Structure 1
Amino acid sequence: MKSKLAVVKIGGNVIEDKAELSRFLSLFAKMEGPKILVHGGGKKATQILKKLGMTPKMAGGRRITDAESLEVVTMVYGGLTNKTIVAQLQALACNAIGLSGADADAIRAHQRPVKEIDYGFAGDVDIVNVNSISNLLNSGFVPVFCALTHNGEGQLLNTNADTIASEIAIGMGHSFETTLYYCFEKKGVLLDMADDNSVIKTIDSKTYMEIREKDIISEGMLPKLENCFHALQKNVHKVCIGDISMIDSESKLFTTLTL
């Protein structure tokens, strides 16, 4: 029987709210068993870019990462945000180790090819180094990954944190029974965006197709759900979506996705 592994991703709204981040990290530290945390930091990166007199560039909700922007996101993701989270987890007796995809050759990616849009130094994941990450987990460390990968040729790449969490959960699914948690500001996938308690508690493949056809869920949630079902089809045991209360062992209100 495979050991269980939790892969938890937190969004920018949690990171930017000091009280919420503190509450989340307290709950995360209490989670039993092997676990991995993945975080972004896009909102802070945007703030720093503006302070430096640079204009953040976006296309289709994704950041265009030129050479100067890459320097800033590296400092923010891999430095300020990552080490702040690691320090707070250490204060909670959680032996965290802050990582980018370049550390221990954990996550290799390639630079996204130019099609209609040139995303610059944006990376799409090629491979997750299961051995390196397993060695860290087996040594009692809790990996905390920022949204940076590398191409194996000395180049760092800015990579979507949702994708990193999904690819880690998929890769580790060969050795563990993985559960992927997406923590954001809502309590789960909602039937009614105006009602925060209208959470759809369980979604399987059939239910997903039904709610898509009926336009029940918001367009912004569709890419996230597509990413979730991709993970489920590639070794991930289950995926959960909700606010930070979701990782509390006593929480009951969030969305669970299964095949």
Structure 2
Amino acid sequence: MTTYQEATSVTPQGDGEYAVRLAEEYSFGEAVNGGYLMGVLLRAAVAESPHAHPLTTAASFLRPAQPGPAQVVVEPRKTGRTAATARVSLVQNGKPIVDAMVTTGTLDPTSEPAYQGERPPIPPIEECRPSGHDRSGFVAQVDMRFDPAVMGWLDGEPSGRPEMRAHFRLASGEDPDPYVLALALDALVPVVVNTGNVGWSPTVDLTWHLRALPAPGWLTVHGGGRLVRDGWNDEDVEIWDSSGTLVAQSRQLARTARTRK
């Protein structure tokens, strides 16, 4: 099995350009998962930065990416002692696929929060529902255990609220790092399925923040939305690590699936 680190690796070509091969293993059908694409972009962003961690990423998804060769272009905007900002673009077949603004910095793994809210509840892993029997493509690369309370949509009984919760880890057993968090933030079943909108819900824009370096072990991923209207829906996600620390936050705007069940 190819590791996630290998699947998101980038090869420097000089002048801020990197060659990549987008892994078919992280695709749904012919489209590559957006969280995986962010992991690739962030590898290049950090490689071009004097700082070690991708603190914040604002990504616009312009068109679906296909498995195969592509390029990442990093254009520095500002470099400072505590943070550096760059425009990072994924290009495939001469067309822009993802454009992102990435700010890097260096987090202290020993720091403690001055304040942290309570972690949202989720049943223990052994009481949660595995991600499914189809173990190909993206689903085969992750181990996800979903809260049964948010999975009624599979039986035609959605909860009526845009919500989704799951325990998450890589199937390869790799411990989480900031690049794994980028994947996990976009790994949930779209929250909008629990309003009866079942189908492909493509991300248009996603912004996320790295809040702490994750501890080894399982992550818990909590997603929710505020508004489904006029063919659009939002999705907020929090990720908590095995030590009970909030390690990542995101918000995305997506097209609402057109198929209703």
The reply to whether TM is greater than 0.5 is no
Which of the pair is proportionally richer in helix? 1
- Of structures 1 and 2, the one scoring higher in RCO (CA 8 A, sep 6+) is 1
Which of the pair is proportionally richer in strand? 2
